[in-house]
Structures are given as C-alpha cells and as structure tokens.
Amino acid sequence: MIRLLTSKWTKVVVFLLCLFPAADIALKIAGNEEPSLMWSWFNYDLSANPVKYIEHFTGSWTLGFLAITLAITPLRRVLHLPQLIRFRRMVGLYAFFYVCLHFSTWIVLDHWQQWSWNAIWADLLKRPFIVIGFAGFLLLIPLAVTSTAGWIRRLGGKNWRMLHRAIYATACLGVIHYYWLVKSDHRAPLAYGAIFALLFLWRIGDWLLERRRRGAAAEARSKPHVTAESA
Amino acid sequence: MLIKPKPDLTYADVTPRGLYMGRRNFLLGALTTYGAVTAYKRLPSLFGGKAKGSVPVPIQGVQKWPGSTTEPVTPVEKVTHYNNFYEFGSDKSDPARNSGNFLTTPWSVSVEGECEKPRKYPIDEMMHLAPLEERIYRHRCVEGWSLVVPWIGYSLSTIVKLAQPTSKARYVAFESYYNSIVMPWATGTGIEFPYVEGLRLDEAMHPLTLLCFGMYGDTLYNQDGAPVRMILPWKYGYKSVKSLVKIRFVKSMPPTTWNNYAPNEYGFYSNVNPGVDTVPWSQAEEMRIGPGLGLFNAKIPTRLFNGYNEVASLYAGMNLRKYY
C-alpha cells in the first residue's frame, strides 16, 4: 500500500483520473458533433441545454474536488497514511481548474452574443447566488497562486497555513451558491453541505483533542515540580 | 582473434524493479478505471429490464392549425429528454429515464365542481370531442429556456362548454395524477403532490388554451405528460399540468403548486413577462433550444405573454408587476 502510494506512477494515474470529468465533457462535445466516432461507450448526452449542463457538471466537480482536498488530512490521520499528502496540492489545484472551467463557461457561453463587461457585471450583481459563487472563486485564486513550494517558503509555513484556511470559506460559499440556485430539490446541495460539515467537525474535534493533550502534557510537566516542592 | 561484440543492453539499461512494477500498477489502474466506468454506464440497462409502460402511437386525422409559429421546431429527442416532471424526479433527465413503466390505460379525466354536467371522460372518448389540431407553440420555462413544439389537441373551451359551469364558477382547478408507489421519485423533490394548477375561467375559455393529447404526430410521451395535459403558451411551463386527472370549477382562486412553494417567486398568473424577474433567473431573455448541439445557440429576447398578444385583453387594466 505504502509503495503504491509513493510510486510516481500513482501520481500520474491520479492526475489522469482527476482529468476524467473534463475529458468526459470534451468527448461528449466531440461526440455530439460527430456521433460516429470510436468512443461509443459515451452516451453523448450533454442534454438539450448543453451550456447549463456544463455549468452544472463543472460546478459539481468543483465541490467534489474541494471535498476530496479537505478529506485528505482526516484520511491521513484516520488511516495512518501520511503519504496521502502527496496528492493534496494536485487535487486542490484540480478544484481550481474545475471552478475556472465553471466560471469561464458562464462568462463565455452565457454572454458571447452581447459581449459587454457591464452586462456581465450587472448579471452577476443582480443575482445573489452568482455573487456568492464569484466570491468563492476569487478566494481560491490566491490559494492556487501560492500552492508552489517557493510560495510556501516565502510565506513561511504558519502564514501559508493561515492563508489556505480560506478553502473552508470557499466550501461554504460553494454550498450556499448551489443551494440558492436549485428550485426546490435541495438534496444535492445539502449532501455537499453534510460532507463539508463532517470534514469541519473532524477538524474541530481534532483541535479540541489536541488542546486537551497539550494541556495534560503541560500539567504532567509541572506536577513533579509541585510534588518536589511540597515534599 | 576473437572480437567480442559489445552487448546492446547492459545492466545499466535495465528498468528498475520499482518502475517496472509501477508501470504494471499504472496499466492495472487504467484498465480498472475503464472497466468500472463502462460497467457504470451499462448499469441501468442491466437492471432496468424492458420498460412495461405506455408508448406513443401515431394519431390519425390531425388538422393543421393556421396560427402555428414558423420558427424552427425543437427536435423531439430534446423535448422528450429535458423535462420538468418532478413526479419522476427533479433532474431534467429523470422523467425520460423513470417514466418507462408508467401505464396510462385505462385513464379518465373527472370534470366536476360548479357545473351543470359533471362527468368522467374516458380518455378515448375525450380525445375525440372536437377535431384534433396540430398547433406549433412556443414553450417558455421559468428557468430561462424555451422550446418550439408541435402539440396535438383542441381548445379546452370545448370541455368547459360541455360541462356548463354555473354562475358561481370563476376559476378552474387542475390536478395531475399522483401515486407514490408508481412515482417514488417525487418524494424529496421539495414540492407537494398531487401537482395542482389553476386558471381564471376566462383564461380557460381562451382559444389558445389547449387540452393536449399528442406531440410530433404521436400521442404524448410519458415524460411529457401522457395521456393528456394542458398547454398554456403565454404562461411559464409549470402552469401547463401534465397527466391530467381532474378539472374542477371553483368559486375562488385555487391553490397552485409552485405558488404554494414560493409565493414571492411564482404567482397565480405566471404570465411570461420579461419585465418581472424571478430569483434566481432573469426573465429578460431565453435560451432557445433548437436543432444542433446548442453550445452557441442564440439567446433571444423574451416577449410579454411569450409573444401571444391575443391574450393581452384578458389582463387589461391589471398591474402585471403585482399580479405576476
């Protein structure tokens, strides 16, 4: 298991797996144009409204990759597999990749006809769910930029970790964005919300346990001193 | 002298064991993924079996209605695979997938309430109470997309006249079929069932108001509201109830499903109106679903009453911002 995790090929496989949803969309577009192409195992279904389909699909995968990114730390600890850290940056960057696809689909395919930044800005401000989603997207940009080893060094581990806690905010904003967008069936956004809540709760629990352990350790350090004095 | 040829490959060229095994893992991983995805895509057909429900059949003797729009008609595959029919699930692709076992025979529609001649109409009889017309209507969904569909039916006014509503009748209430065993997907979609809708009596009498039995030359597809539904081309799509079982004449404004769910978004009238937005959608323009892939389909400006100005007199003097 450890060898599998540390193999460089595993990283390649994970990289390709993460690319799969994007490839799926690309092949479906190609398949719609030319359904006789060899990849007949795709069902070519971009729905009757492909723009909305792609927006929904890339949006869901953004939330999915955010959840996987946030699951890596708990999984490392619970499964005693610290090697999983190798994949966290890649998966996190994939969340950013899919949100970029999501955002550019909205910008380009929803507005190409009457292209004007004013109209896009008005469209954005008019609808709270887009404002929320946009805020979540903006928050991810500095995280993607500072994901390199160089930036971790420049910022220092503590600052870097502080900055990258913005991912919690993005996850919340993403769920609200999704929740406000659906008409009446809130099960899907609530499911994402529940996953994130679970991942957050684990962190809070871990933090509380850690604090108690530290408190106990400090007490243990001070106790012999006290007994020595009273003796 | 013996010349020893230099070997092509030395031990330095041997692929390290780890890398070799890694490649094997990689291939294994790729193959497993391919297999898993293929199996996943085939899953529905493996367990679904053959659908046992009603299927569309051609309708004979349909006249062409002269008022049809000449805009390009949306392909039938799109109209039958992009549906809001929450009884069969809330995703647009759900109704096509889940309605295969829906049986629409026998079927009857109960006409009741404040009228002189209440009765139950068996579907076969009801279908031939007036000459069937093919009417190509624009269909505008509140979600910002629109279709052009050749529906088959006749004006609802035929039924209203046969029923002879009393002087007390001012509204007409409609009810869709609902059975939680036949339609388990409805649970959890957030709205209440059975699906109910309503019209003012004069709206119900308007010649555009279509009692619809077919589409594209055939009887209705299950996912589009078989065997009989309403079509109200100047209102948002959700006003046009599917799989109709009850028409009831009533004294006061009847409750309607989406209005019950969010009264500030969905009004009783729900006339298509580019000037009144609905959260989270702008109603100023619409994505017309037509032939082709549609990635770069034109967005067109939405028109008041979806372009059906002949209904404007029904709302003369009404503030359409207030009565949305």
pLDDT in tens, A141-153: 999 999 999 999 9
Please check whether residue B83 is in contact with residue B226, taking contact to mean a CB–CB distance below 8 angstroms.
no
How large is the ipTM?
A: 0.83
> What confidence score (pLDDT) does residue A39 get?
42
Report the distance separating Cα B269 and Cα A163, nearest Å: 50
Please say whether the beta carbons of B218 and B162 come within 8 A.
no
Burial status of residue B76 (CB atoms within 10 A of its CB: 0-12, 13-18, 19 or more): middle
Mean of pLDDT over chain A? 89
pLDDT of residue A75: 96
Task: Give the model's pLDDT for residue B39.
Answer: 55
Residue B91's Cβ-side half-sphere holds a number of Cα atoms within 13 Å equal to 12
Pairing label, strands B108-113, B119-122 = antiparallel
- Contacts for B249 with CB less than 8 Å, ≥ 6 apart: B112, B113, B114, B115, B163, B165, B166, B169, B171, B172, B173, B201
* Count of alpha carbons within 13 angstroms of residue A103, beta-carbon side: 20
pLDDT in tens, B166-196: 999 999 999 999 999 999 999 999 999 999 9
Other CB atoms within 10 A of residue B143 CB: 20
Whether the predicted pLDDT of A195 surpasses 90: yes
Q: Which two tokens stand for residue B315?
A: 């709302």
CA distance linking residue B205 with residue B192, whole number of Å:
27
Select the more confidently predicted residue: B243 or A221.
Answer: B243
Select from B25, B289, B295 the Cβ nearest to the Cβ of A4: B25
How does pLDDT run across B209-218, given as a tens digit for each residue? 999 999 999 9
Task: Say yes or no to pLDDT of B60 above 90.
Answer: yes
Q: B90 and A184 in contact by Cβ < 8 A? A: yes
**Domain regions of chain A by residue span:** 2-226
Residue B316 pLDDT: 95
Neighbours of A145 (CB within 10 A): 10
- Identify the weakest region by mean pLDDT among A38-47, B220-229, B309-318: A38-47
Which residue did the predictor score with more confidence, A196 or B279? A196
Confidence of residue B277 (pLDDT cuts 50, 70, 90): confident
Q: For chain A, say whether B86 makes contact (Cβ under 8 Å).
A: yes
As a whole number of angstroms, the distance between CA A41 and CA B35 comes to 11
Chain A residues lying within 8 Å of B26, measured CB to CB: 9-10, 12-13
- Give B188's contacts in chain A (Cβ within 8 Å): 185, 187
Identify whether the C-beta of residue B273 lies closer than 8 Å to the C-beta of residue A121: no
| Share of residues in chain B with pLDDT > 70 (%) | 84
Distance CA A84, CA A73 (A): 8
What are the structural domains of chain B?
A: 82-315 (3.90.420.10)
Q: How far is CA A38 from CA A21, A45, A121, B117, B278, in A?
A: 19, 16, 42, 61, 43
Nearest by CB: B22 against A9, A16, A127: A9
